Amino acid sequence: MALKPIVFTSASLLALMLAGTAHAQTQSAPETAPQQDEANDIIVTGVRASIVGALNVRKESTQIVDSIVAEDVGKLPDNNVVEALQRVTGIQVTNRTGGEAAAISIRGLPDALTTLNGRNIFTAAGQSFQLQDVSANLVKRVDVFKTRSADQIETGLAGQVNVETRRPFDFNGFAISGLARGIYNEQADSYNPNVALLVSDRWETGIGDIGLLVNGSYSRTKYRDQTVTAGAFVPFATMTPPAGTGLTAFQRIFPVGRDPITGEFGRAPALGAWDPGLNAGLSTAAGATMDVNGVETPYYLSRDAAFSSDLYGKRERPSFNVALQWAPNSSSVYTAEVFYAGFRGETFNSLQFSFVDYWANPQAPTLYDGTNIVKARTANSVYGFNSGDFTKTSTDSFVYALNGKWDLGDRGKIIGDIAYQTSKVKTSFLAMRTDRVANSIDVDFNAGGGIPSYHFDDDSLLADPGVWNVAQLYDNANRDKGSAITGTLDGYYNWDEGFLRQIKAGIRIDQRKASTAVRTQDAGAPLVRTTLAGLGEGAAFTNSDFYQGRADVPSSWTLANGYWLHDNADTVRGLYGIKTSDQLALQKVFDIDESTIAAYVQADGELSIFGRPLKLQAGVRYVTVDTDYNFFDRYNGGAQTRVSSGSDRFLPSFTARYEIFDNLRLRFNYGETLRRPNFSDINPNYNLTGDLTNVGYGSGTAGTATLKPTHSKNFDAAIEWYFERNSAITLTGFRREISGLVVPLTIQEYIPNNGIVAGATDNFAITRPVNASNGVLKGLELGLTYFPSYLPGPLNGLGFVGSVTVLDSKQNIPETNSAGVVTGESTSSFFGVSDLSYNATLAYDNGPIGARLSYIWRKEFLANNEARLFANPIGVWRNPEKSLDLQLTWNVNDRLGVTFDAVNLTKSKQQTYYKFEDVGGPDQFNLGTTLLARTFALGVRYTFK
């Protein structure tokens, strides 16, 4: 769809300052931030200033740190911190649906410690903060620490992402800045506002300098995600099954199961001796056989379903920070601040699902050459359903903090900080299914480019509410809460000469609480049978223009209107005879009280070798954690279980930085870090799904209360050549030796009285996390920043920023039988790790014009493992992902600028497929394809200071 005219008023982020002050606990020693006088040596503005500023942060740091400063956040086409970070060396984005980038990994690891102004922050009952909820408009600087020192918080194997907001003493006096952008989402055909306003001032008074800053931001996004999926693999009889099997032509072969005592396969007509969920799945060789009722029987592998998802979403993000600073004299500064990040979201998923696994009036399929894999087929008398799924979510996170800094003469400082934070997430979900039996469906599971094609004998019936019978209802909600009070005290003292240059020590005390409450009620059918048309006006919704003609699938269908379900929730519940809102209550399933005490000591030294400085830093951090858990079993009358656990560990660190020449330096770092279990991973309550695929049991997940922290030994070595004032090449090698990795193990469990309606069963394959794996992650990062100083005239200001990351990961995965006994071991890549990724930005900054053209690419990677219910390879892989983005700025004058941004210019897709080791791939084992939105933004920015 063509870009429509947009007229918006807007204004600019203030130029961000590079000055770094010492922060409590989570910041490295004071030299981690660039010295102000050194930063001022580079007198450039605009795009180049932000890129050079980030380069200086790394150059002057003791640790290996990459940053986004100044207009890297404010002027790139980025709406949140995650989108800004995707251009940093070694960072890969792992989720681009919903019209934005929403998650990152650092060197392939997803668990970065998230801090705000040096303070650990989190969302509700999680261990980390949802960085995408931080508006880019509020940010002064973002530092990504690849290595760690003893004065930094010990968690996060991936590293640390510290977000700094603005404070009034960053400015000399009064400052006001604002922006307003209008963002057009092409796929949703929506116009979305993004506005921000900052006001700051400072005064000289009789009691010292006082400053006050208020900074607020609001964004709204309406988006649309559209996905077409070929279902999972299951075995079928050939067109001529052998005698004695009990099978008819093209009949689906369900698993026969094993004897619970001997472990041997049973024997029954039409049931096969196969285990769902094998790592590599069943053999795909032409003529492959399995035992069916004692007869070796050839089989086909075909999909169980084909389906389309048309998700309509809206999110709003209000946020603000307020900071009050007071400097009563030249040797002390006090800062009080409040930070708020909110999220309001709703999604309506329009799901059209058809099974293609029935064998009535069978017709011969089309196979891929040389395999038993079905490429295309016709299925008759197929059952299908449409589901209107409505989810509503709200998040409110507050951080209140008081910080004081006191000088110890001119050589040292004491820093005290106390912070209190709260976070709450509330979610509700309501879904109604409508079903029917269609005469037939023709499916090509890969009609080209990994996208399936399917059509029914009469697609027009998909949009007729009179043919859809009202079926199951799903109604649930949950509430997660978290809070923490944290106090830190740090101090350091410096010397100008001799070997010892600094001693630093500190203590951190943290008291964390978290809890989760849920409710669930499902119903199999309404009290009075009816069709969708019988529900009345407003109950039906019909989508249109699905997939915009980019797939040969139905483009429209009708189903229960998710918005109507939400607005008439109690009326809908009454149709099914279940509890209404005045009778509903959430049931607490777990709460946690965790105490952490950490203390460290760290020393910096300097030697001269061959007349050049060698800077050394060594330290040790001691941390002790005591955790008390209360679990409440909602399938057993809320029975309570209490568990207590504790751990303690010394974590050493060492860094060396040697300046071979003024512009060439070496770095080496060794450090140890931890990954504490997510609270959801230690919650043993079940989340269950019925036997929807008729394999004889349902599936589910549960936590493991005895999980231990994962431990990593980290090695980094870097060489950096700053070959011009504004240019550098950096090469970093790294290795992570990780023990106690958490991996999922699946066992069969009997769980009666579970309340499951759809696919009712008492037997479940339950997947739990366990500390059962060790792994190694290693790789290289190559970064280049180049702004040549010799280009003439209009070409002056042209530059390039790019990086390449090469990764190699391997971990052992234990294999178990149905009783949970470990029977073997396999190896796998880490989840989320692309072996190769790169980003390249062509930047231009000359006079009033600034521009960036950025391209990001990452190789295919293992995203997750499939539920162990089917016959395909267990791994779900993502195809290579890419994005081409453009940003243009016209500075009308020193205060006013006009911006144009475009994201995902090439309209890239997100695709998945099945694979394990050398089995599988994107062609014959394709899974889902999601269209990613292209967006355009136009705005203006204004600054006065």
For the segment 365-379, what is each residue's pLDDT rounded down to a tens digit? 999 999 999 999 999
Other beta carbons less than 10 A from residue 590's beta carbon: 25
Q: Are strands 587-609 and 558-560 parallel, antiparallel or unpaired?
A: unpaired
Q: Indicate the average pLDDT of the chain.
A: 89
Nearest to 149 by CA among 737, 614, 714, 710: 714
Whole-number Å distance between alpha carbons of 604 and 619: 9
- Token couple for 209: 């300098």
Residue 818: predicted pLDDT: 58
537 CB-near residues (< 8 Å, 6+ apart) = none
Q: CA-CA distance, 922 to 846, in Å (whole number)?
A: 45
CA distance 599 to 945: 41
Q: What is the pLDDT of residue 71?
A: 54
Evaluate whether 631 touches 638 at the Cβ level (below 8 Å). Answer: no
Distance of alpha carbon 299 from the chain centroid: 39
- What is the H or E stretch that residue 817 is in? none
In the numeric block, the tokens 């210019």 are attached to 905
Whether residue 258 contacts residue 274, with contact meaning beta carbons closer than 8 Å, is answered with: no
Strand partners, 322: 214, 338
Cβ atoms 123, 130 nearer than 8 A = yes
Closest among 562, 95, 569 to 346, alpha carbons compared: 562
Sign of CA dihedral 45, 50, 55, 61: positive
Indicate whether 17 pLDDT > 50: no
Percent of the chain with pLDDT over 90: 68
- CB neighbours of 282 closer than 8 A, spacing ≥ 6? 233, 235, 274, 288, 290, 299, 301, 871
Cβ contact 913:904 at 8 Å:
no
Mean pLDDT of 72-95: 71
Place of tokens 């930005």: 841
Q: What is d(CA 569, CA 559) in angstroms, rounded to the nearest whole number?
A: 16
- Residue 74 has a pLDDT of 44
User: Are residues 190 and 184 in contact, defined by beta-carbon separation less than 8 angstroms?
Assistant: yes
More confident residue, 701 or 327: 327
pLDDT band, very low/low/confident/very high, at 47 (cuts 50, 70, 90): low
Is residue 11 predicted with pLDDT exceeding 60? no
Whether the per-residue pLDDT at 13 is higher than 80: the answer is no
Greater confidence (124 vs 373) lies with 373
- Asked if 768 contacts 685 with a C-beta cutoff of 8 angstroms, the reply is no
CB neighbours (10 Å) of residue 134? Answer: 28
CA-to-CA distance for 409 and 404, rounded, in angstroms? Answer: 16
State phi, psi for 462 to the nearest 5 degrees. Answer: -60, -30
* Residue 70 confidence (pLDDT): 54
CB proximity list for 63: less than 8 A, separation 6 or greater: 28, 32, 145, 146, 147, 148, 149, 655, 669
Distance in angstroms (rounded) separating the CA atoms of residues 68 and 81:
10
- Which residue from 531, 680, 612, 932 is spatially nearest to 124, judged by alpha carbons? 680
Comparison of pLDDT for 672 and 45, the residue scoring more: 672
How is residue 407 written in tokens?
A: 């000088």
Cβ contact 873:914 at 8 Å:
yes
pLDDT above 90 for 14 = no
User: Does position 819 have pLDDT exceeding 70, yes or no?
Assistant: no
Distance CA 60, CA 42 (A): 14
Rounded-to-integer distance, Cα 369 and Cα 659, Å = 61
Q: Give 670 or 134, the one with higher predicted confidence.
A: 670
Residues 877/862, Cβ–Cβ less than 8 Å: yes
Instruction: Record the pTM.
Output: 0.89
Three-class SS state of 534: helix
Which comes out higher in pLDDT, residue 865 or 191? 191
Residue 549's SS3 state is helix
Summarize pLDDT for 438-464 with one digit per residue, the tens: 999 999 999 999 999 999 999 999 999
Sign, CA dihedral 204-205-210-215, equals negative
Q: What is the DSSP letter of 693?
A: T
- The 8-class DSSP code of residue 573 comes to H
Determine the average pLDDT of the residues in 643-653.
Answer: 92
Average pLDDT, integer, range 804-817: 87
Whether the per-residue pLDDT at 822 is higher than 90: the answer is: no
Is the confidence at residue 27, as pLDDT, over 60?
Answer: no
Rounded to an integer, what distance in angstroms lies between the CA atom of residue 427 and that of residue 705? 24
DSSP 8-state code for residue 677: P
| 600, 605, 609, 612: CA torsion to nearest 10 | 110
CB of 809 closer than 8 Å to CB of 833: yes
Helices (H) and strands (E) in the chain, counts: 6, 46
795 contact partners, CB below 8 Å, separation of at least 6: none
467 confidence band (pLDDT: 50, 70, 90) = very high
Q: Model confidence over 876-919: pLDDT tens digits? A: 999 999 999 998 999 999 889 999 999 999 999 999 999 998 99
pLDDT above 50 (res 10) = no
3-state helix vs strand vs coil in the chain, percent to 5: 10, 60, 35
Please write the tens of the pLDDT for every residue from 384-402: 999 999 999 999 999 999 9
Q: Are 729 and 804 in contact (CB under 8 A)?
A: no
Partners of 738 in the beta sheet?
712, 775
What's residue 50's pLDDT?
Answer: 74
